[in-house]
Amino acid sequence: MMIASDDSGETVPGQCAPLRIGDRAPRFLARSTQGPIDLDDYRGSWLILFSHPADFTPVCTSEVVALARAAPQFAELGCRLLGLSVDSLYSHLAWIRLIRDTAGVTIDFPIIEDPTMEVARAYGMVGADARDSGTVRMTCFIDPDGVLQASNSYPLTVGRSIPEMLRVLTALQAVRDGAGLAPADWQPGAPLLGLPGETAEAALASEDPAGWFHASLGKQG
């Protein structure tokens, strides 16, 4: 396991503060259920990096099964999935074998091992003094340029919503060109909001008193 800089490839200290939207996702090299992983290999496509506290746990098992079943939907959106857990590679392999044999679901996306919690610390999933991964259930939405565009976290006791992950991904893609905004409860295919006016001329010229800052584009995302 290694956390590396984007440019030099040298090992760099993990940051323990959560990543902020707009930050470059820290590059790492790690072993996974599908061989060695270099985060740079995901450049050029959307990536959802999601962590779970431990293998062979109820909520985490339900999540990876649900994500595996929804994998074609993410693929249609040009997005790849990458799981992370502090458990060893051999634990991951035993877990996905058990899932296949009991649930009939094949986990086709890689799950990386992070036994030293280097990646979890670099992404701010756990604090510097954390002794275990009990709080690690974080989702990072990383754009094709390797920049974090959104993230969310859930406790050990609550699983993610896969439809919400798909909604957020679709919304991020819809507004990526900077020409519109996704409003509250936006769903794929619904109209986007226009960008607000930033001059007195724009505010006074609008026939609708609120139209200069809150108006539908009529453009579907």
CB 141 within 8 A of CB 157: no
Q: What is the distance of C-alpha 111 from the center of its chain?
A: 14
Which neighbouring-strand residues pair with 73?
Answer: none
Q: Is the pLDDT of residue 12 over 90?
A: no
The string of pLDDT tens digits covering residues 85-106 is 889 999 999 999 999 999 999 9
> Among 61-75, 160-174, 187-201, where is mean pLDDT lowest?
187-201
Please, which residues have CB within 8 angstroms of residue 199's CB and are 6 or more apart in sequence? none
CA distances from 159 to 62, 70, 214 (A): 8, 15, 34
d(CA 192, CA 186): 8
pLDDT of residue 125: 79
Q: Is the pTM of this model over 0.85?
A: yes
Q: Is the pLDDT of residue 8 over 50?
A: no
Pick the catalytic residue: 16, 60, 79, 140?
A: 60
The 8 Å CB, 24+ separation contacts for 98-104 are 98/56, 99/61, 99/64, 99/65, 99/68, 103/65
CB 130 within 8 A of CB 51: no
Q: Residue length, the chain?
A: 221
Closest to 98 in 3D by CA, of 132, 137, 55: 55
Say which CATH class 2-160 falls into.
Answer: alpha beta
Q: Is the pLDDT of residue 211 over 70?
A: yes
The string of pLDDT tens digits covering residues 121-178 is 888 877 566 565 555 689 999 999 999 999 998 888 999 999 999 999 999 999 999 9
**Collapsed DSSP state (helix, strand, coil) of residue 98:** helix
3-state helix, strand, coil in the chain (%, to 5): 30, 25, 50
60 in catalytic set: yes
Domain segments of the chain as ranges:
2-160, 175-221
Q: Is the pLDDT of residue 15 over 80?
A: no
CB 195 within 8 A of CB 180: yes
Q: Is the pLDDT of residue 14 over 80?
A: no
CB 97 within 8 A of CB 60: no
3-state DSSP of 147-176: EEEEEEECCCCCCCCHHHHHHHHHHHHHCC
Query: Residue 167 is encoded by which pair of tokens?
Result: 């909604």
Phi and psi of 33, rounded to 5°?
-70, -10
